[in-house]
Chains A and B, each alone.
Chain A
Amino acid sequence: MAANTQAVCNSFKVELLDGIHALGATVIRAGTTKDTFYGALYLVNQSYGAGTTAYNSTGEVSSANYVAGGAAITNATAPTLDGSTAIWTPSASLAWINVTFASFDCLLVYNSTQGNKAVGVYTFGAQSITAGNFTLTMPANAAATALLQLA
C-alpha cells in the first residue's frame, strides 16, 4: 500500500544547485547562463573554512605562473541526481605549471559571477612546490564521490 513519506524532495536538491529556488532575497540575474567559478589556493595556518563567505587574497599562495584569484573551474557538467543525492563536480582538473609555492593546504571554490561568494573549502595535507607542477584532480561525479553533494 502506498504511503506518504517526509523528505526533502530530490528535485529540490538539484534545483538548489541550479539556482531555481530563492527562499530568501535573491539577486537579479542577467540571464539563464550558469555562473563562473574559480579555485584559489591558500597557505597553511590561515582561517578559511565554514565561516568563509567570499574570496579573499589574504594568505593566498603566490608565484610566477599563478594569478591572484586562482584558476577558472571547468564546469561542463550540470548538477544532477545520483539516487537521492544531488551532485556536482568540476569537469576538469586544476593545474598550475612551473610554480613555486610555500606550504599550502587549502582550495577555496568561489563564484566569480556573484561577487566572489564562497562555495566550499577543501583541505589536504600541506604541500609545497619547488619549480614544479601542482595538479588538483577532481573525483568521480557520483553520489559517493562528487565534489559537492546534497544528500
Chain B
Amino acid sequence: MLITTIYKTPDNPEGLMEESLYIKKEGIVDNENEHTTWVEYWNGNVLVHRSAHVTLKPLKTKPELGKIN
C-alpha cells in the first residue's frame, strides 16, 4: 500500500512509500497536559518519517477577591 503523506527525504527520495517495506511504530500519550498520538516509519535503523498529533488541555486561572477591611 502506498502512503502518500510521506515527504521526500534523502532516505526516501520519491516521497512515496510502500508501507510493508518499512517498520511502523505508533504510540499514544495521555496525561493532564495533552493527548498525543504519533507514528513513525523506519527503514532499518533510519527514521524516515515521524508525525505527531497533540490535543492540548486547558490552563485554568481563578480570579480571587481580597478582603475589605
Closest residue of B by beta carbon distance from A8: B63
A131/B60 in contact, CB under 8 A? no
Tell me whether A127 is interfacial, beta carbon within 8 Å.
yes
Which secondary structure characterizes the binding site on chain A? strand
A125 partner, pick from B6, B7, B36, B64, beta carbons under 8 A: B36
Residues of B within 8 A of A (CB): 5-9, 12, 29, 31, 33-34, 36, 38, 40, 47-65
Chain A neighbourhood of B52, CB < 8 A: 127, 129, 132, 134-135
- B57 close to A131 (CB less than 8 A): no
Whole-angstrom distance from the CB of B3 to the nearest CB of chain A? 11
What are 16 sample pairs from A and B whose C-beta atoms fall under 8 A apart?
A6-B65, A7-B65, A122-B56, A127-B52, A127-B54, A130-B50, A131-B8, A132-B6, A133-B51, A134-B52, A134-B53, A136-B55, A139-B56, A139-B57, A148-B61, A150-B62
- A75 to chain B: closest CB distance in Å? 15
What CA separation (Å) do A8 and B66 show in the bound complex? Answer: 10
B51–A132 CB distance below 8 A: yes
Q: Are B50 and A123 in contact (CB under 8 A)?
A: no
